[in-house]
Structure 1
Amino acid sequence: MSFDVQGRLHEIFDETQVSEKFKKREFVLEIPDGSYTQYAKFQLTQDKCGILDNYKTGDEVKVAFNLSGKPFTKNGTTMYFTNLQAWRVEHATAGAAQPQAGGGSYAQAPVKSSSFISDDMDNDLPF
C-alpha cells in the first residue's frame, strides 16, 4: 500500500548497519492533526538511506511510503510489527494543501452530536 504525508522533519537518525547486507536510516515526521501533533517514525533502507542527506531538522517535506506489517511469535506469544517504509522524500511546496494519507481528496464527514460526548471545551484529552 502506498501513501503520502506532509510534515516537518522532527528528528533524523544516523544510518545503522543492521547486518552485513542490510542498512537502515530512521526519521521522525511531525504531522499537524488539529489540536494535537502526531509524530510518526519512518524508515529508509539500503540505497534509499542517502535520501535525507540534503535535509535538516525543521524542513517541511512530503514523504511517500509503504505501510507494512508482520506477526512475530516468541514463547507462544504473537506480537505484530508495523513499519512505515519511506521510498521518497521531497521538499514540500510552499502554500500547498496538506494531503491526507493515501493521497485521496475526501470531504470531512460532519460529526453528529451525541449525548456521551462532553460539551466541556476545556477538556484537552485526545480521547
Structure 2
Amino acid sequence: MELQGTVKKISEVQTFTSGFQKREMVILTQEQYPQPINIEFLSDKINLLDNVTEGENVKVAINIRGREWVSPQGETKYFNSITGWKVEKVFENATGSEPTQASSQQAATPVSNENPFAGDDDDDLPF
C-alpha cells in the first residue's frame, strides 16, 4: 500500500535496551478531511528519513501490521501499526500540474450538442 501527504513531523531515533531502533514520521494526507498518519520506520529503514524534511510532499510505501495483547485481567485487545519501507519525494510544478497534450487538445475543441446528421435528407436506409 501507499500513502501520500505532507510531512508534518519527524521524530528522533529511539533505541531500546534490546538494541532495536525505530523512528516515526507523521504525514498529513491531502484529501477533503486531511488525516495525520503516524508511520514507523524500523531497524535498517530508519535511515530513509535522513533526507526528508518537514513540509515536503512524500509518497510512502507501507505495511499494516496487527497484534493481539491479553491484559493481566484477561481482556484481549488488538493494536495496529503502520510500518514504512520506502519513501519517495513528490515534486510538483510551480504552476501546478501540466495538462497532457491530449487533454489540452480536447479543451480547445468546443463541445456541441447539435445532431451532426440533422437536416441530412439523403437517407438510403431500406426501412
Q: TM-score, length-normalised on structure 2?
A: 0.69
Specify the alignment match of 2:20 in structure 1.
22
**What is the RMSD of the two structures over their aligned residues, measured on CA atoms?**
1.7
Highest relative contact order (Cα 8 Å, sep 6+), 1 or 2? 1
Q: Which amino acid aligns with 2:47?
A: G
> Which aligned runs of 4 or more in structure 1 are off by greater than 3 angstroms?
none
State the distance in 2 between where 1:72 and 1:19 align.
21
Aligned length: 94
Specify the alignment match of 1:49 in structure 2.
46
Greater strand proportion: 1
Specify the alignment match of 1:61 in structure 2.
58
Query: Can you give the 5+ residue segments of structure 2 that lack an aligned partner in the other structure?
Result: 98-127
State the distance in 1 between where 2:44 and 2:28 align.
24
State the distance in 1 between where 2:16 and 2:77 align.
21
Greater helix proportion: 2
Cα distance, 1:54 vs structure 2 = 0.8
Q: Percent identity?
A: 31
Specify the alignment match of 2:80 in structure 1.
82
Cα distance, 1:21 vs structure 2 = 2.7
Cα distance, 1:7 vs structure 2 = 0.4
